[in-house]
Structure formats: structure tokens, C-alpha cells
Copies of this chain bind each other. A is one copy, B any other.
Amino acid sequence: MLERALTHRSYAPEHNERLEFLGDSVLGCVIAKHLYDAFPQLSEGELSRLRSNLVKEETLVTFAQQLKLGSLLRLGEGERKSGGFRRPSILADAMEALFGAILLDGGYAEAEKAVLGLFVPYLQKVDIHTLGKDAKTLLQEYLQGKRIPLPTYTIIATGGLAHEQSFQVECAIPKLKISTRGEGSSRRSAEQQAAQAAYQQLARTS
């Protein structure tokens, strides 16, 4: 089952996709139970946000790298030559398939142990109150907590052709004499960049 979990579909018909389906499910359940127990004060919505920001490709890739899974993957020739052993989606899928294989081999309790063995140390390093929130939300929550009027976002400049437009946005918080700028290919992303800059400025001064 370990071999199967590390076999990409490009290598053989006995690949890891079904195990990945299983592993994704057991992972979701183990993390839900852990968060439920660890954070009795969090609402259902906050638990969901936390979980979806923990159980994602990026995190799984980190674990796959810790375990040096890349060098153990069984990939078809094409994937091997094009660096498939470093591709995030392939690493994350193999990681999930591994959890699925442990569930089949050792039952739920063993799968739980394996998942928590990786996730609990990781959870201790992240800030659960900010995890997965975007910069505009973080900034807004910070200001509301201090009863400071919310920032205003203003488009300062736009440029580029229709399919590669660029936006410059200013984020202003007059009360704190803060004014930052952000740039992006959409108004939304420019606002996020500007909010990010303002939030970092606040973090440095508070």
C-alpha cells in the first residue's frame, strides 16, 4: 500500500488516486475533531475557515518535503523528466494517499496518529486568529477592535491594455496618518496589496 500511495497515474494503472480520495476524507475528519477539541470557543464558521486553511496543498507539500517524499515517488518517464517529483499537486496528492494507506493498514486510530503527528507541531507555529484571512479583513478587524474609523480605498491610476490592465490603489487611515499604496491586475488585488502594506506598518508601530 505504501508503494501504491507513492505511484502517480503516469507510472502504472495501479496508481494512488483512489487512496488520495480516502486520505483526503480521513484528513478532514481528524483535523475537524482536533480543532473541535482544541478550540472550544470557536464557532462552526471559524472551525471551517481554520480547517480549510490547514488542509490545503501548501501545507501538504510542506509535510511531503519534510518526509522527502519527492525522491520516493513513482512517476512515468514524462513526469520524471519534467520535474514531477517537485510539482506541488503531485506531492500533496501523494501525501493524502499516504494517509489513506495508513487508514487501510492500521485503522482510524493509526491514521489519526499520523495526521496529528504532522499537523499538531505545524498548528503551534501558525496564528489561528489570522490564518486564512485576507489583508483587508485583518486590517478591518484590527481597526474595529480599536474603534478607529475604517480605511478608505481609492483608485489612483489605471494603465495597460484591456487584457493586462493594472490598478494603483491607495489605502488611507487618516486617524493614524497612514497612507499606503498597492498595485495589481485587478482593483481587488491592488486593494489587498495596499491593505497589506498598511497592516504591516501598523504591526511595526504597535
Chain A: residues with CB nearer than 8 A to chain B? 17-18, 20-22, 24-26, 28-29, 31-33, 36, 42-44, 47-48, 100, 103, 108-109, 112
Contacts and interface: CB of A to CB of B under 8 A. Distances in A.
The 7 closest A-B pairs by CB, nearest first: A25-B32, A29-B29, A17-B44, A25-B29, A108-B108, A21-B44, A22-B36
A42 to B, nearest CB: 8
Nearest to A28: B25
B36 A32 contact: no
A29 B47 CA distance: 17
B18 A44 contact: yes
The interface centre, meaning the residue of A36, A42, A44, A48 with most chain B CB atoms within 10 A of its CB, is A44
A21 B47 contact: yes
A22 to B, nearest CB: 5
Nearest to A103: B33
15 contacts: A17-B44, A18-B36, A18-B42, A18-B43, A18-B44, A20-B44, A21-B48, A22-B33, A24-B32, A25-B28, A25-B29, A25-B31, A25-B32, A28-B29, A33-B103
B48 A36 contact: no
A84 to B, nearest CB: 18
A32 B43 contact: no
A25 B43 CA distance: 15
Nearest to A22: B36
